[in-house]
Structure 1
Amino acid sequence: MKILHVIDTLNAGGAERVLVDMANMLSKAGVQIEVLLLQDGGVLEKDLAAGVSVHKLRRTNKYSLKKALATHRLCKRFDIVHVHMRHCYAYIHAVQLSFGGNYKVAFHDHYGNIGIDKKIPVTLRLPSAPKFYIGVSRELCKWAAEYLKPAKQFLLSNIIMPRHNVDHENAVGNKAIMIANIRPTKNIDFAIDLSNAMGFELDIYGQKSDVEYYDQLTSKISGNVNIRIIEGVTDFSKLYSDYSIALHTAKSETGPLVLLEYMAYGVPFVSYKTGEVAHMVSADLPDLFVDNFEVENWKDRIDKIKQNNDMPRKLQTIFRDNFSSEKYLQQCLEIYQDIVAY
């Protein structure tokens, strides 16, 4: 079985990290995996295993026939073209529509705003809707079943591959970490308000995805030495011991991947209740999740979590029981076998 994973770049982001971990895992299991980047590399490219070949289209004009033909010639060498992100699927679908090819296109939907935006993009409307759909959350799969009606649909919840074996103990002090690319859906301004209300230090790690929102945030924290926005970091595993709590305030998510990372490293967190991780974990650890944006409610939850010295161990146990790489690999292989057999 030959699989080509497609995405635009490997800049820091949740879908990009999923692709890297998935490609490495499948390659290690003996599956022939290659990666096509529609634009260019990125900071996560270095994390791909040595055995995973990377093709860089370096496309600057999405209407270039030369680049489309090069994409077609590559794709037709594979049994399945596994496409991450909606705009990437639109391009691969257009290429296959233009040049043909017997390869099967699986669309892996990571769309994080599904909780607040359920409209159907033109590029996903029938008859362009994907035949094979992979959603990272139940909410995405429910949306796809209603509006896209794929021939085959699969739920594949995200996982992460911890880089180090670190036992996090409840850190003392009042220092919080937040990992989120800078865009309005992440609701970072609420995290700032919360930190100010609690007298916390807050380090926000993320890439500048929305310049206007970034400027609003920097203006808001101007002169506040307790709150920092830090760009360019991709490996947080050795930083977590500096923080007593992690925050996740996004209004809509499908994962989110960062909560899995907090769990893997035993980092206590409080999060808005959205996404597949909240769905799977909230029954066992309800105190981690808040269903509103009332500062007092978040303060109460944070105080409660910080006082629970057993929380790091509980988080790591739930991560091992529910998000193992072995289980994820088996799901991936079953999905590919189902698609190939269709």
Structure 2
Amino acid sequence: MRILQLIDTMEAGGAERIAVNFANALVGAVDASFLCTTRKEGPLRQSLSIEVGYLFLKRKSTLDLKAIKRLNKFIRNNGITHVHAHATSFFIATVAKISRPKLKVIWHDHYGQSEFLDSRPKTVLKLCSKYFDHIFCVNSKLKAWSEHNLKTKSIAYLPNFAELDDSETLVTELKGVSGKRILCLANLRPQKDHLTLLKAFKEINKGFKDWSLHLIGKDFEDDYSETIKAHIENQELKNKVFLYGSCPDVSATLKQCEIGVLSSKSEGLPIALLEYGLVGLPVVATDVGDCSLVISNNREGQLVEPQNSFELKNAIELYINNPEKAKLAGEHLKLKVLKDFSNQTIIKKVIDTYQSI
């Protein structure tokens, strides 16, 4: 089997991280592993193993004929048997399948707004789905949605997994007082609901003035981003809340923090939550998507109601006030992630699926 991971960008998002993780993990486990980014490169490019065959398609539009020809040529020249298309890359994967009917196409649904599936666009996806040999879904709600709305017969739930490079060089020096940092690893998107976190932190800061909040994730420089920055300015939090954009040194950055937080309104199964676990951070997250599969009890972390700044504040303060309890929660979460969300467990399921189709 010669497997191509297909993804539209190499920005530091969840679907992108999974595509890179799969490509790296499959090296040596299948005959050959490849990755193609169709539209845009980004910081995750440097996380890709040198043993992974790589193509940047430079696709400029949905029906970019030159890009489609380049992809077909790459597939033909490298003898690729399976295309594992992540998120929005399903359309160009479908075009490749129509050109080469023997090609196996797997679509991986990473849709992050699984709490709002009623408003999800589906017309094009439904048409393409009859060409998919299999669908992987990152949570149970997405699986049920695909079974009800799409034409693919083979559909399975597949939890995400995370990998961190412990040998990476520290590039991002976090501001604030060492030993008193709260981290939110999430791109600046509305579904991540940074405003609720900022409201909670404003109250936390009244009693814990040395603590700081660190927001790491891509800044799309849009209206949502401007709202976040304006709130920080208006609430006089500029010396306590710091934005860094995307960072290439996630593992080294996580190790500079004491508490990991996710305040999302909607999720699939967030990679950030698994990455927090891998470094043993105590975690406070909202009870959305499949977060409860990772944090299944209070020994492994705390889940709070989404869009509830009061609950979020209290949960974070519990860890600030009880460092030993926080440390123990981080250790339990690490054990859980290593046991149930390791690359060995997930990759075996993926390879079995590749073989079965």
> Same fold, TM exceeding 0.5?
yes
Q: Does 1:46 align with 2:46?
A: yes
Equivalent position of 2:275 in the other structure: 261
Alpha-carbon displacement from aligned partner over 1:276-326 (angstroms, at most 9, x marks no partner): 242343246475101243333222222333411422221111122211222
Alignment of 1:224-235 (within 5 A): 224=237, 225-235=239-249
Q: Does 1:336 align with 2:354?
A: yes
Give runs of ≥4 in structure 1 deviating > 3 Å: 94-97, 126-131, 171-174, 283-287
Q: Which stretch of the first structure deviates more once superposed, 270-279 or 290-299? A: 290-299
CA contact (8 A) 1:108 1:135 kept: yes
Instruction: Output the CA distance in 2 between the equivalents of 1:128 and 1:275.
Output: 23
Equivalent position of 1:107 in the other structure: 107
Instruction: Output the CA distance in 1 between the equivalents of 2:24 and 2:255.
Output: 27
The aligned length equals 333
Equivalent position of 1:319 in the other structure: 337
Shift of 1:6: 0.8
User: What TM-score, normalized by structure 2, do the two folds share?
Assistant: 0.86
Alpha-carbon displacement from aligned partner over 1:144-186 (angstroms, at most 9, x marks no partner): 11111422112211111132299xxxx9864311111111111
Instruction: Output the CA distance in 1 between the equivalents of 2:266 and 2:68.
Output: 34
CA contact (8 A) 2:97 2:104 kept: no
**2:25 partner SS:** helix
Instruction: Output the CA distance in 1 between the equivalents of 2:292 and 2:222.
Output: 29
Q: Which stretch of the first structure deviates more once superposed, 231-240 or 321-330? A: 231-240
Q: Give the one of 134, 137, 141 matched to 2:136.
A: 134
CA contact (8 A) 2:133 2:154 kept: yes
Instruction: Output the CA distance in 1 between the equivalents of 2:288 and 2:158.
Output: 17
User: What TM-score, normalized by structure 1, do the two folds share?
Assistant: 0.90
Equivalent position of 1:94 in the other structure: 95
Q: Identity rate of aligned residues, in percent?
A: 24
Alpha-carbon displacement from aligned partner over 1:76-116 (angstroms, at most 9, x marks no partner): 53211110112x1022213433x343201110111101212
5+ residue gaps in structure 1?
A: none
Instruction: Output the CA distance in 1 between the equivalents of 2:10 and 2:258.
Output: 30
Instruction: Output the CA distance in 2 between the equivalents of 1:300 and 1:34.
Output: 45
Q: Does 1:187 align with 2:187?
A: no
Equivalent position of 1:36 in the other structure: 36
Alignment of 1:185-264 (within 5 A): 185-199=191-205, 200-209=211-220, 211-222=222-233, 223-224=236-237, 225-264=239-278
Instruction: Output the CA distance in 1 between the equivalents of 2:140 and 2:165.
Output: 28
Alignment of 1:23-172 (within 5 A): 23-76=23-76, 77-86=79-88, 88-97=89-98, 99-118=99-118, 119-126=120-127, 128-129=129-130, 130-164=132-166
**2:6 partner SS:** strand
CA contact (8 A) 1:4 1:36 kept: yes
Equivalent position of 1:296 in the other structure: 310
Instruction: Output the CA distance in 1 between the equivalents of 2:93 and 2:194.
Output: 34
